[in-house]
A = this chain, B = another copy of it.
Amino acid sequence: MFEPRYNSELLQKAVDAFSRLPGIGPKSALRLALYLLRQPMEEADNLATAVTDLRHKVVYCSECRMISDAPLCPVCSDPKRDKGIICVVENVRDVMSIEHTGRYKGLYHVLGGIISPIDGIGPADLAVEPLMERLQKGNVREVILALSTTMEGETTCFYLFKKMSHYQLKITTIARGVGFGDQLEYTDELTLGRSIENRQLFKPE
């Protein structure tokens, strides 16, 4: 067992600070601290400034709750995005993943979690009301529920579906089925069974 105690208090503090980050243990933390000591001062200053600025200046988009440098995020303020479609996701990483595909041109809505009774997370803990307020404005014609296909994701989809049922909306979910590049023999039975039931017309691209 590696005892994380050093004869320099400054080193100790840096190691402690790094150790508090997820996935960084005391040994990695020490490695990072010793690495920074060998770098030019600007390197350490740059990291410190980036961390401070990130935490103090990043805001959440007032519309979609995506992290943003301005009150309205680049997606919401982009005139080329289709404001009639909202894609509901669990967190900001999901927005990044979907944006990265380059296949979606509508807006987003970040729930900030999914309904999970076991973790004590109910609808009130999520950005559900802000979503309803956006729908109330009446410009939205489709809501895509892009949540995980887990029990919690399905529960959240169902909850949102009921909650939105009185709006004039097309409510869709992302396609579920066998992933591109997946081999059938390694696909789980549930997915495979559902993808046969929900088979689609073959469209050569």
Contacts and interface: CB of A to CB of B under 8 A. Distances in A.
A58 B35 CA distance: 13
A59 to B, nearest CB: 9
* Size class of the contact patch on chain A: 35 or more
A69 B10 contact: yes
A44 B52 contact: yes
Copies of this chain present in the complex amount to 2
A57 B14 CA distance: 12
Interface in A10-59: 10-11, 13-14, 16-18, 20-24, 28, 30-37, 39, 41, 43-58
Contact of A67 (B11, B54, B68): B11
Given A2-B100, A7-B99, A39-B55, 18 more contacts: A6-B96, A7-B66, A7-B73, A10-B53, A10-B69, A11-B54, A11-B67, A16-B50, A17-B50, A18-B50, A21-B36, A21-B47, A23-B31, A23-B32, A30-B93, A36-B54, A44-B51, A44-B56
Interface of A: 2-3, 6-11, 13-14, 16-18, 20-24, 28, 30-37, 39, 41, 43-58, 66-69, 73-75, 92-93, 96, 99-100
Contact of A69 (B9, B24, B54): B9
Contact of A58 (B10, B24, B28, B58): B10
A70 to B, nearest CB: 9
Contacts of A10: 50, 53-54, 57-58, 69
A48 B41 contact: no
